[in-house]
Amino acid sequence: MRKNKLALFFVLTLSVALVTTACGGNGGGKKSAGNPVASVNYKKITDRQIEQRLALFQIAYGHQFSRSEMGPARSAMAEQMIDEYVALAEAKKQGIRIKDEDVSKETTRLKSIMRDRAYGGSVQRLNMALKQAGITDEDLKAMVKDEMIIRSLHEKVTGGIKLDPNEARQYYEANKAQMREPESVKYREIRVSTEEEARRALDELKGGADFVEVAKKYAPQNEKPNIPQDSTHSGVSGSSGIQGPPPGELMGPFYKGSGQIVKEVEDTAFALEAGQTSGLVQSAVGYHIIKVEELKPAKEFSFEEVRDRITNGILEQKKMAAWDKYIADLREKAKIKKF
C-alpha cells in the first residue's frame, strides 16, 4: 500500500467504505468491539476497525490480500487512520461542515464506482458483499461525510499553492530524454510448438492463405479463441499456464525496448516494415511467424504538447508535500499512543 498519506487516504476512502467508529464516532455496539492498536487524543483505533477497512478495500476492488500483503496493509491502515483522526479533529476546530444532501449524492456515486469496478455493474452482487461484511448505507454515509470534510480541509491547506510559470519549462528541459514516445509496433502472430508445424504454416502463407485463418488452424489446443486480448502476454501465450489473445488477432501497440514481448519476437517485429511477414522465429516458448500491421517511429513531444501534464504533475507534488507536512504537524501536536 502506498505510504503517501493523501494518496493513500483518497485511494481507500474514495473507493471503499469505512465504519462510523473508524473516524472518531461514539462507537458502542458490536462495531466498536476489538482490541485497541492505537489511540489519538484518547480515541481508540481497534484491530476490528482495521480488519473491516481492509475487507472493504477488497470489496471495492475485487482484490484479495495475500498473506504477505496483510501485515504491511494492517500497519499502513493503522497509520492512515491516525492521519484521519488528526485531520478530522482539526477540521472540527475550523468549523468545516458538509450538507447531508451532498453526502447522500456522494454516497450514491461511491456505490456506483464500486459496483462497476468490481461487480460488473451488478447492484445485487455489491449489496451482497457489503452485507456479508456487515456494512450498511449509514456506514457508507458516515465514511463519505468524513472524507468530504477532509477534502475540504485539504483544499483550504493547498488551494493557495501556485506554480511559477517557468517551472514547467525548466522541468521539460531537464527531462527532455523522457519526453518521447518510443517506436511502436502492432502485429499479428502465428505461434506453434514445433518447427515442422511452423514450416507448414509458412508454406501456406507463401501460397496465399489468409494469415488469421492459418493462425487459427495451427493454434495450440490449449488456446481458446474467445480469450480476451491481453497485450502483455504476446509472445508468451501458452507458457506457464498463461493464455494469450485469440489466434491471429491484432496485438499491440508494443514499444521498442519495453520488454512487453519476448526478445526474439520484438527484434523481428521492429526489423520488418508494415505489411511484411517474417520467416520462422524461434524463442523459448515456440516458433513464431509475425505479420506487422503498423509501425510507428519514435516521437519527441514538444513543450506545448506536454505543458499541461507537466504543470499538473508539479502542482500535485507541491500540494502533496504541503499536505504531508500539515498532517505531520498535526500529529506532533496530538496525543498519539500505539499499543
DSSP string, 29-76: TGGG-S-EEEEETTEEEEHHHHHHHHHHHHHHHT----HHHHHHHHHH
Same domain, 46 and 154: yes
CA distance 87 to 80: 11
- pLDDT tens track for 103-122: 999 999 988 988 888 888 89
Q: Give how far Cα 201 sits from Cα of 41, 167, 215, 219, 273, Å.
A: 73, 56, 8, 11, 21
Peptide bond between residue 225 and the one before it cis (omega within 30 degrees of 0): no
**Amino acid symbol at 282:** Q
CA distance 43 to 199: 73
Same domain, 16 and 88: yes
Does a structural domain hold residue 248? yes
CA distance 179 to 319: 23
What pTM was estimated for this model as a whole?
A: 0.63
CATH of the domain at 101: 1.10.4030.10
CA distance 223 to 137: 44
Does a structural domain hold residue 167? no
**Amino acid symbol at 134:** G
Does a structural domain hold residue 171? no
Same domain, 280 and 318: no
Instruction: Reduce the DSSP state of residue 292 to 3 states and report it.
Output: strand
CA distance 238 to 189: 13
Same domain, 222 and 265: yes
Q: Is the pLDDT of residue 47 over 80?
A: yes
Q: Is the pLDDT of residue 51 over 80?
A: yes
- pLDDT tens track for 183-213: 999 999 999 999 999 999 999 999 999 999 9
- Domain total of the chain: 2
What number is the average pLDDT over the span 314-333? 96
CATH of the domain at 227: 3.10.50.40
Does a structural domain hold residue 251? yes
* 8-12, 108-112, 137-141, 220-224, range with the lowest pLDDT: 8-12
Does a structural domain hold residue 170? no
What number is the average pLDDT over the span 68-84? 92
Same domain, 186 and 112: no
- pLDDT tens track for 129-167: 888 887 888 888 888 899 999 999 999 999 999 999 899
Same domain, 68 and 151: yes
Does a structural domain hold residue 326? yes
CA distance 251 to 255: 12
Does a structural domain hold residue 236? yes
Report whether 127 contacts 69 (CB < 8 A).
Answer: no
Give the range of the structural domain holding residue 291, as residue numbers without chain letter.
Answer: 180-299
Is the alpha carbon torsion for 289, 295, 297, 302 positive or negative?
Answer: negative
Same domain, 11 and 135: yes
What number is the average pLDDT over the span 88-114? 94
